[in-house]
Amino acid sequence: MQSSGDDSGYHKVDLHSLALHMAKNRIKEEIRDARSDRRRGVKFIHGFHGGTAIRDWMRGISLEQFMESANISGKIWFDEEGTTCVSLTYN
């Protein structure tokens, strides 16, 4: 996982108010929508005090596995504790 990048122009999604199971669904939906709209990427704001379960899920293998199974090319990275970004790549 890369630890820095350029998130300018990314769609921003605030996950603070969501429980983990709801956040997982929202994250997957936002990434699928971003790919459909051919966006550069998505910046997810999860926080780091109460948002560690979401952060850990995103930065672990689960999100990578989802993207691979959905045939979505991209990279998961972060440069702040409270956010995780997904950069999308297209052929």
> Could you report the per-residue pLDDT of 36-89, keeping only the tens digit for each?
999 999 999 998 876 589 999 999 999 999 999 999 999 999 988 899 999 999
Determine which of 16-20, 22-26, 47-51, 60-64 has the lowest per-residue pLDDT on average.
Answer: 47-51
pLDDT on residue 30: 98
Number of domain units in the chain: 1
Flag whether 4 is in a domain: no
Residue 4 in this model has a pLDDT that exceeds 70: no
- Distance, in Å, from the CA atom of 79 to the CA atom of 21, rounded to the nearest integer, reads 24
The structure tokens 């979401």 sit at 54
Per-residue pLDDT band at 1 (split at 50, 70, 90): low
Query: What angle is formed at CA 16 by the lines to CA 67 and CA 62, rounded to 5 degrees?
Result: 25
Q: Establish if 40 belongs to a structural domain.
A: yes
Contact 90, 16 (CB under 8 A): no
The pLDDT confidence band at residue 6, using thresholds 50, 70 and 90, is: confident
Look at the alpha carbons of 62, 74, 70, 80 in this order and tell me if their dihedral is positive or negative.
positive
Domain of 26? 11-75
